[in-house]
Structure 1
Amino acid sequence: MSFSENIRLAFQSLRANPLRSILILVGMAVGIAAVLHVVVLGELTQKKINDRLQKMGSNVLRIRPGFSWRHGMRTGEKRVNLTWEDSDEIVSQSEAIIQTVPIYSGSGDVSFQDKNWSTQITGVTPAYQNVNNDYPAQGRFFNMQELSERARVAIVGATVYEKLFENKLALGKTIFIKSKPFLIIGILEAKGESWSNPDDQVFVPITTAQERIFGVDHLSSILAQMRSETDYDEALFDIESILRRNHRLSKEAKNDFRVRRQDFFLATIQATNQELARFITVIALVSLLVGGIGIANVMLISVTERIREIGIRRAIGARKFHILFQFLTESMMLGFFGGILGVGGGIVFNHFYIDAGGILPWSWIYYSFGICAGIGIFAGIYPAFRAANMNVIDALRHE
């Protein structure tokens, strides 16, 4: 029997039980679509992280308060100890640091007309846009005069812009931050979601954030830009020396602050995303395994229902190989068409749900077809051997 004849018989068998075939196809499709989604999401996340690293540079350090210690053990409570003086002295006393940005950040409600959104309110200085390479796509950043005047001006992130204004005209409009009016002077370019959404922020002058919004005099963190990434050791030594002196720490005391390169945080995000991708991949592979078990069960049922047909075919000259090949062809087609459905569904889902930006991993698409066909063949081996080794006389007597 030719291969084309086996294909025809396989189609005929699948059409004879459409509901059963569809259920198996869906099971395979879900697994393949999930694998494809993980691959596309991973490549998209990697692209965004690489773009962000290129923008941010590796010559920026972030200084954060340390954790409190009690009885030699670290508590979860963060210290409140970074000040404007720390920021000013780091840049004035370290030759390795060319500029610093004091930051205070807290959560708060933002509203425009009847729309409300809870977001991150971040107070910075005008130098932030240069240090972090983060410039408004529309409008401008605030200036030193607005900083000194504690002006009620704001630059909104892309998420806040979408939630409050639905991407319509926002420049020059007044929003309310914690019930206080602020004039929108800029809208930041979208960066894309990651572990924390950098687009879900509103930037204001740090003087405004500290005195008009939150009523604090300490800092959440400090950005320190080095002359070059090769100055890391010198910069770290200077920062530790200055802060330990300012905070009056004894020689035996631990640092009450933490210093990390900016790209360290993105590397952490990348590692977390990779772990999440592995977890989702395991789930997808389990789904494929379930699909394979489903194919095996369907083929066993098919063998049982077609015992007499098998006996007649053997009686008129069909060999064991022909029977084996026919059932393997049917199981392979179940897997292969499940792969087609899964790849198609995965492409559509990625396009509309995560805006994959043209990312289409062709190698993984080819792998998907091979994996599905392989699962189909593997799942059909036992049913096919059972059909091929059936006793001809017993098969002909079967009713």
Structure 2
Amino acid sequence: MTNIYIESVRMAWSSIVSNKLRSLLTMLGIIIGVSAVIALVSFGYGVRSDVESNISSLGSNQITIIPGSDNGPGARGAAGSMQSLTYKDYEAIKLLPNIDLVAPLVSKSYTVVNGNKNWQTTVYGATDEYMEISDLTLQSGRYWTDEEYNKRSRVAIIGQTVATNLFGDESPVGQKIRINNQPFTVIGLLTAKGYSFMDQDDRIFCPFTTVQERLLGITYVNSIVVSSENDDALSQIQTDVTNLLRTRHRISAKDDDDFTVRNSQELLETMESTTQTLTIFLGCIAAISLLVGGIGIMNIMLVSVTERTREIGVRKALGATYHMIIVQFLIESVTVSVAGGLIGILVGCGIAKLIPLVTSMTTVISPLPVIGSFLFSVIIGLVFGIYPARKAARLNPIDALHYE
């Protein structure tokens, strides 16, 4: 019995080789389908990887509190549109358990000037804790001192994008810039962090006290950032922060919060779910071409049955059984799909590797879509080969021998 299967495989391969162009065109649907599944799913995984990397670079163990409610109607509903967070809220949050670092933050967009050069960027008022939470390191220069922080000194630490546009190749450390027509001394240059939802190098950091009082002249804060080393504690911290601020702001049970608490873990889970749905959608769209390839296999196998009617009659006359004829044609069908699947894997992986080289997009090749698309192509060959095989096996040997 084993010899029958081996001989069937040899005959199938011989048929493919002897009709190279027809075989290639038959495989084309499978090749396109398998390669499309691998390339598109790899692109989807790449998008997912980029999103996870971007969120992680911003901090995957953070909670951000901003003024304004997401639930309220009209203008009140715009998160961040109110002035409901204060420095005392920040001091109260610092006393909550499970929290490692807390930092208040204020910010505003300004045109920053150096000589005859100017650049529009965002100026942040931050504390030492925020610099640590955001993992902001210096390429050159230094951080501000406690004395400079307490005296509201006009000192600034700038990002690489700001430095390039204001100073070119010259070192900015020790140089003067003007923010809102006020002179600031550049004391540090941040290490480049790249693009993550925004250009993380296009910003300026100054002491929180300096920006809040000297530049903005406000008593409230724009946001409060909380960090914990224990990711599992973020949900509890979020609940504690919400309860604390509702109590401090004297919000009754029937009223909405006048603040919004955002958990970076929830954002990460939401984005992962979205990109996973996108990946599955792309894979399903690509898999449709595999079905088209299956139809092509069925079509060529039906043609093959017609062309080989006399051969089938001879085989039956010599004792070939219904089972043998079925097996022969199914093996031929599966051989075509296996060959197409293997070529499709090579093409798909090649495309996935090529995309990052010619574009800024990232791709991640995973074994799952590679193995899955190949197995699906084999199943396609098997399923779409059944009808032609049954048709061949049911031929009457006498009628087949007389077929012209």
Match of 1:186 in 2: 190
Match of 2:244 in 1: 241
Match of 2:289 in 1: 287
Determine the C-alpha separation between the residues in 1 that align with 2:123 and 2:130.
14
State yes or no: 1:297 paired with 2:299.
yes
Any conservation in 1 of the 2:42–2:366 contact (CA below 8 Å)? no
Taking a change above 3 Å as real, the CA distance of residues 220 and 278 of structure 1, as seen in their structure-2 partners, is farther
Determine the C-alpha separation between the residues in 2 that align with 1:380 and 1:120.
64
Match of 2:265 in 1: 263
Determine the C-alpha separation between the residues in 1 that align with 2:39 and 2:303.
28
| 3-state SS of paired residue (2:78) | strand
Match of 1:225 in 2: 227
Match of 2:394 in 1: 389
Amino acid at match of 2:282: I
Which is further off, 333-342 or 34-43?
Answer: 34-43
Which string of whole-angstrom CA distances, capped at 9 and with x for unpartnered residues, describes residues 21-45 of structure 1?
A: 3532433333442475268548846
Match of 1:113 in 2: none
| C-alpha displacement of 1:268 | 2.2
Amino acid at match of 1:339: G
Match of 1:331 in 2: 333
Amino acid at match of 2:226: A
RMSD: 5.1
State yes or no: 1:66 paired with 2:71.
no
Which is further off, 213-222 or 291-300?
Answer: 213-222
Which string of whole-angstrom CA distances, capped at 9 and with x for unpartnered residues, describes residues 329-379 of structure 1?
A: 222122212221232233233334358999764465444433322221122
Taking a change above 3 Å as real, the CA distance of residues 126 and 170 of structure 1, as seen in their structure-2 partners, is farther
Match of 1:8 in 2: 13
Any conservation in 1 of the 2:180–2:215 contact (CA below 8 Å)? no
Match of 1:52 in 2: 56
Give the TM-score, by structure 1 length. Answer: 0.69
Which is further off, 27-36 or 176-185?
Answer: 176-185
Match of 1:114 in 2: none
| 3-state SS of paired residue (1:205) | strand
Any conservation in 2 of the 1:97–1:224 contact (CA below 8 Å)? yes
Give the TM-score, by structure 2 length. Answer: 0.68
Runs of 5+ consecutive residues of structure 2 not aligned to the other structure: 113-118
Correspondences of 1:372-383 after superposition (within 5 Å): 372-383=377-388
| 3-state SS of paired residue (1:223) | strand
Correspondences of 1:69-88 after superposition (within 5 Å): 77-78=78-79, 79-86=81-88, 88=90
Any conservation in 1 of the 2:193–2:200 contact (CA below 8 Å)? no
| C-alpha displacement of 1:88 | 3.9
| C-alpha displacement of 1:82 | 4.4
| C-alpha displacement of 1:62 | 1.6
Taking a change above 3 Å as real, the CA distance of residues 85 and 243 of structure 1, as seen in their structure-2 partners, is farther
Which is further off, 363-372 or 340-349?
Answer: 363-372
* Structure ID, larger Rg: 2
Taking a change above 3 Å as real, the CA distance of residues 135 and 77 of structure 1, as seen in their structure-2 partners, is closer
Which is further off, 84-93 or 213-222?
Answer: 213-222
Which is further off, 379-388 or 26-35?
Answer: 26-35
| 3-state SS of paired residue (1:377) | helix
Determine the C-alpha separation between the residues in 2 that align with 1:213 and 1:17.
75
Taking a change above 3 Å as real, the CA distance of residues 266 and 69 of structure 1, as seen in their structure-2 partners, is closer
Correspondences of 1:301-320 after superposition (within 5 Å): 301-315=303-317, 318-320=320-322
Amino acid at match of 1:386: K
Determine the C-alpha separation between the residues in 2 that align with 1:221 and 1:90.
14
Runs of 5+ consecutive residues of structure 1 not aligned to the other structure: 111-116
Any conservation in 1 of the 2:309–2:403 contact (CA below 8 Å)? yes
| C-alpha displacement of 1:380 | 0.9
Any conservation in 2 of the 1:141–1:186 contact (CA below 8 Å)? no
Taking a change above 3 Å as real, the CA distance of residues 67 and 339 of structure 1, as seen in their structure-2 partners, is same
Any conservation in 1 of the 2:30–2:289 contact (CA below 8 Å)? no
Determine the C-alpha separation between the residues in 1 that align with 2:288 and 2:111.
42
Which string of whole-angstrom CA distances, capped at 9 and with x for unpartnered residues, describes residues 38-57 of structure 1?
A: 685488469848x939x946
Correspondences of 1:14-29 after superposition (within 5 Å): 14-15=19-20, 17-18=22-23, 20-29=25-34
Match of 1:346 in 2: 348
| 3-state SS of paired residue (2:203) | strand
Taking a change above 3 Å as real, the CA distance of residues 19 and 350 of structure 1, as seen in their structure-2 partners, is closer
Determine the C-alpha separation between the residues in 1 that align with 2:110 and 2:377.
49
Determine the C-alpha separation between the residues in 2 that align with 1:16 and 1:258.
64
Aligned length: 377
Amino acid at match of 2:25: R
Which string of whole-angstrom CA distances, capped at 9 and with x for unpartnered residues, describes residues 240-265 of structure 1?
A: 434653x5644542211122433222
Any conservation in 2 of the 1:28–1:292 contact (CA below 8 Å)? no
Determine the C-alpha separation between the residues in 2 that align with 1:348 and 1:312.
45
| 3-state SS of paired residue (1:17) | helix
Amino acid at match of 1:390: L
Taking a change above 3 Å as real, the CA distance of residues 368 and 236 of structure 1, as seen in their structure-2 partners, is closer
Q: What is the percent sequence identity of the aligned residues?
A: 27
Taking a change above 3 Å as real, the CA distance of residues 62 and 201 of structure 1, as seen in their structure-2 partners, is same
